[in-house]
């Protein structure tokens, strides 16, 4: 196999960009034209009709075996709607308690924890890797200058993952088997990559799994605790998110979890076929290995929008939502992305991993949120954006406010 790498490297790079399966912001967000965002959602019955109309066609068209859509309304009401099956073999309909692998939604917890440790004074956003990693760690000049904030906002110039012959070989295998092509990305491998890292000539925000791997590694080193322990102590326990964990086997609903299926990827496995779950290495664990359900994710969203009752924690959650670099689209906050669409500001995260797709979106002005979980890998995950826009414009109309026209 090694003889094919030189000729295939550029092709592999293209394939990896087009078919990356370990989470990201590359999910396609098809947005309603302005007139369709005006659909009224005046009562719970209207909401059910809207969600059915968006979700059921994806089930009927076999785009995904199952889906759960959770909605936090402006009045604090939480509603969850399940469609299809959680497992193509069991035939059980998923609901708000059904566990899904949520991929890069894991990064939201890591970002929150970073904000908390900055608030504690253990870290500073301007701390660089030369300060954050052990003395003597081989780092290139560009790697030494990477700051904590750059890691947290995907603006360090790091790629999504190193493009190496080994990664390419595993990726080609993935297309046919669904096996993880990140399984060799352990701590030693990533730190070795930093020794020769050269940043691009022009650095702009660029989604980076390895950036968040480094961020979680830094948090563990500085706190003396694992990401699992930090998350349980600072977020999951206090918010009573009892169905969210980096160790899903320990959760009560694990046996009945949603099982991942092929969708748009892996390319050479028929859509709807089961695919393997992914296990992540030590350094990628914190940024990609989380399992959760719609009920917990709505409570997590509500803590960002309404507070959790603890002033210090709430300050860190709010800090995570703050835009750090103004851009026309996909402005980076801490783990979150912020876009203004049809005059409404949406803050969101997307996860794509193994056989799953996930979305968590917030509308901070209207205090609404949407969770969308699919048990297949699909680039298109537009239901969340469309519901948030429809709810926002409906609320604005009720309050007599004009909404900005969309493109």
What percentage of the chain carries pLDDT values higher than 70? 87
- Whether the per-residue pLDDT at 290 is higher than 90: the answer is yes
Every domain of the chain and the residues it spans: 2-398
Mean of all residue pLDDT scores within the chain: 89
pLDDT band (50, 70, 90) for residue 402:
low
Positive or negative torsion for Cα 271, 182, 9, 1: negative
- Looking at residue 162, its pLDDT comes to 86
- Please report which confidence band the pLDDT of residue 401 belongs to, taking 50, 70 and 90 as the band edges: low
Q: Tell me the mean pLDDT in the region 66-84.
A: 97
Predicted local confidence at residue 5, as pLDDT: 26
**pLDDT (tens digit per residue) in 232-265:** 999 999 999 999 999 999 999 999 999 999 999 9
Structure tokens at 393: 């414009």
Q: Is the pLDDT of residue 178 over 70?
A: yes
Tell me the CATH number of domain 2-398, given options 3.40.50.620, 3.40.50.150, 3.40.710.10, 1.10.238.10: 3.40.710.10
* Pick from 302, 301, 403: nearest CA to 344: 403
Assign 341 a pLDDT band (cuts: 50, 70, 90): very high
Residues 6+ away with beta carbon under 8 Å from 139: 129, 130, 133, 194, 195, 197
CA separation for the pair 227, 351 (Å, rounded): 18
- Going by C-beta distance under 8 Å and a sequence separation of 6 or more, which residues neighbour residue 238? 308, 310, 313
Contacts of 18 (CB under 8 A, 6+ apart): none
Mean pLDDT for 138-146 is 96
- Residue 201: the pLDDT is 86
Over residues 276-286, the pLDDT tens digits come to 999 999 999 99
pLDDT recorded at residue 270: 96
> What is the Rg, in whole angstroms, of the alpha carbon atoms belonging to the chain?
21
Element (H, E) at 347: strand 344-353
Name the least confident of 35-39, 130-134, 179-183, 206-210. Answer: 35-39
Contact partners, residue 377, CB within 8 Å, separation at least 6: 21, 260, 261, 262, 263, 264, 265, 266, 275, 352, 353, 354, 355, 356, 357
**More confidently predicted of 231 and 14:** 231
Average pLDDT over residues 287-316: 97
pLDDT reported for residue 317: 97
pTM metric for this prediction? 0.91
Q: Give the contacts of 19 (CB within 8 A, at least 6 positions apart).
A: 171, 175, 265, 266, 267
**368, 74 in Cβ contact below 8 A?**
yes
Of 7-11, 76-80, 178-182, minimum mean pLDDT range: 7-11
Which tops the pLDDT comparison, 27 or 57? 57
pLDDT at 7 over 80: no
- Predicted local confidence at residue 42, as pLDDT: 56
The answer to whether 208 touches 159, Cβ cutoff 8 Å, is yes
Q: H or E stretch including 307?
A: none
> What pLDDT is attached to residue 36?
57
The whole-number pLDDT of residue 310 equals 96
Residue labelled with tokens 């968006």:
54
The model's confidence at residue 8, banded by pLDDT at 50, 70 and 90, is very low
Report the share of the chain in percent with pLDDT over 90: 79
Q: What is the pLDDT of residue 13?
A: 43
């Amino acid at each position: 196999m090694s003889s094919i790498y030189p000729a295939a490297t550029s092709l592999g790079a293209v394939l990896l960009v087009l078919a990356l399966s370990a989470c990201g912001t590359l999910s396609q967000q098809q947005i309603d034209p302005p007139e369709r965002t005006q659909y009224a959602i005046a009562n719970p019955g209207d909401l059910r009709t809207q969600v059915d109309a968006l979700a059921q066609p994806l089930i009927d068209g076999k785009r995904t075996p199952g889906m759960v859509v959770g909605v936090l309304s402006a009045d604090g009401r939480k509603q969850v709607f399940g469609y299809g099956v959680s497992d193509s073999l069991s035939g059980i309909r998923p609901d708000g308690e059904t566990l899904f692998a949520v991929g890069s939604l894991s990064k939201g917890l890591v970002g929150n924890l970073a904000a908390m440790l900055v608030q504690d004074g253990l870290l500073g956003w301007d701390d660089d890797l030369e300060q954050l990693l052990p003395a003597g760690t081989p780092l290139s000049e560009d790697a030494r200058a990477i700051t904590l904030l750059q890691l947290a906002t995907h603006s360090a110039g790091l790629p999504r993952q190193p493009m190496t012959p080994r990664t390419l070989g595993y990726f080609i295998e993935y297309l046919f088997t669904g096996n993880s092509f990140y399984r060799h990305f352990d701590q030693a491998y990533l730190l070795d990559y930093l020794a020769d890292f050269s940043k691009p000539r022009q650095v702009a925000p660029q989604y980076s799994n390895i950036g968040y791997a480094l961020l979680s590694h830094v948090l563990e080193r500085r706190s003396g605790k694992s990401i699992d322990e930090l998350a349980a102590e600072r977020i999951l326990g206090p918010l009573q998110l009892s169905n969210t964990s980096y160790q899903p086997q320990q959760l009560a609903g694990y046996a009945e979890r949603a099982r991942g299926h092929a969708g748009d990827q892996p390319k050479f496995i028929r859509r709807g076929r089961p695919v393997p779950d992914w296990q992540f290495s030590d350094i990628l664990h914190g940024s990609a290995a989380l399992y959760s359900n719609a009920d917990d994710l709505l409570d997590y969203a509500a803590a960002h929008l309404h507070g959790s009752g603890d002033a210090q924690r709430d300050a860190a959650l709010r800090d995570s939502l703050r835009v750090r670099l103004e851009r026309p689209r996909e402005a980076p906050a801490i783990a979150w992305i912020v876009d203004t669409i049809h005059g409404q500001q949406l803050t969101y995260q997307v996860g794509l991993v193994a056989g799953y797709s996930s979305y968590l979106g917030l509308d901070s002005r209207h205090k609404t949120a949407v969770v969308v979980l699919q048990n297949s890998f699909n680039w298109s995950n537009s239901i969340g954006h469309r519901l948030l826009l429809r709810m926002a414009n409906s609320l604005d109309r009720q309050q007599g406010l004009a909404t900005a026209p969309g493109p």
